[in-house]
Chains A and B, each alone.
Chain A
Amino acid sequence: MAANGSIDERDFSDDDVTDSGEPVQDKGITFRALESGNPTQTITYHTRGDDITEIRRDDGVFPDSHEITDPESEEDSLSVEDSYDETDSETGSSIVSWISWYCSLPGHEYFVEVPDEFVEDEFNLTGLQNPIPYYNEALDLILDADPEDAANQAFMTDIESSAEMLYGLIHARFILTKAGLQLMAQKAHDGIFGECPRVYCGGVGLLPTGLSDRPGEDTIKMVCGRCRDVYFPKEAKYQSIDGAFFGTSFANFLWMTYPELLPPIIRRSATEGNHHIRPPRRRRHGAYSANREDDDDDDEDDDDEEEEDEEDEGRATLVHRGHGGGEDEDSEGSWYAPLDDPAHDLANVYEVYRPRIFGFGIHPDSVVAPRMQWLRWKEGVEETQLGR
């Protein structure tokens, strides 16, 4: 499993992901599953970019619920977690607890520290004995109660990976408790989980989620509460975390418990008028020709002209937009406000993207006509925004 370790120990930086917009492709790497005692069995590691995203056994399927109790197949799916430097844990455990050390590893920023009391309560661990090999040893390791038996040293790698798996599953349970929700809400509030990559969600915070509650099935995904969609984690170092360590329920549960984590959307309506105030647009470069007759850019968009109209009004003072104008560029127009504009409260914006060619909407029969707007539709999104 040395090859495995070397993959995960690489130093991931933010830019590694898209350094050159490098194609992120699935590459299957096949290893012999030596530790399962069956050298003919192979495991395929599917990677995205530099990182493992999933493991598949030789039959091409993940261990299903029946197999999960089978210790042999369990070892296969565990092996992806078997990636940390054991020497680290030994030196680390003498100073800090295993849980603190594990949560402080690079790439483990999403985990919260489960209190020892929670782990010590057997009731919280109901049902975890069966799927996890070396359960007792792993539990001892997590609680720093490991007497470091000489007999255990041989299996230390397996115990380490079992401990990671066990901790992940305990973690998935803990973050659904009141204390866990509080800790995770604090992390979400601090912006640890990043922002929605979708432009028209206005940079609302994401939460980690799994797409399955069974370990070894899928990696962690990020869910946005505003567009209710799932995205890949932005940074590669998070892309190898098992999704079951966070679970399918957690994110939605947290938003139900702490609704303030999802700022309300201020919906702009063309009919009732809105009082969104937009300062005059700034031009940092270039001489702006005040009289439009001089400006005969045939290549420039029609949006440009709309903008100029607005600019003419807006130069002197702030512009009150809307008031039953009903023009369909209303929703679009407000987006021309600069991103760094404090008056433009981006956090409350939700829009549906409307494609335009030279400023014109696209006919429904066209090959590029919008066909996925339903996906982003929300209560309060006007027909005009959808270009109907």
Chain B
Amino acid sequence: MDTFSLAFFVLAFLIVASAIFVVSSKNIFHSAIFLILALSGVAGLFVMLHAYFLAAAQVLIYVGAISVLMIFAVMLTSRIADKEIRHTNEQVGIGLLISGGLLAVILYSLYNTPFTISDQPIAEGAGMTLGRLLLTKFVLPFEVVSVLLLAALIGAIIIARRDTKTGDSVPPRPIPLPKSLQQAKGESES
């Protein structure tokens, strides 16, 4: 086995193993950490394909922003990080059925797609080409996606502040403190 395949299999094992840990871990913070590991592994795959720009974007967006916000939400939501919370899935059968079916569809399409392998060297400066395409040929999808993200952002704010339907400017509700901090707060107040 050459170095390339070896690196691929190590990365693939890392991704799959940590993805399994994400869904099976009893501790939600561990799940988040394993999710970061899996996403970093995907960035490693991009590096192996010489898609450096994509790899950096993957790390920057998924690890740097999304995962951090997720951990933040986990730590700020009271009781969710407790050990007692149940993480078992009651619909294991139907879950297995759906994921098995998805796996079958993916495998079927993988085996039936004729992948064209080109002899051409990998293009340098893919980031520049990507940027040019995003602002010329694909400018409409690009803008639509950004409007969609904006809508999601506004929607999240509206859901979070649904108490203000009377039109009055109600001050935002205080964020519940994690359990370990609530005790400290009670002590300082008494």
**A and B associate:** no
A residues sitting closer than 8 Å to B (CB atoms) are: none
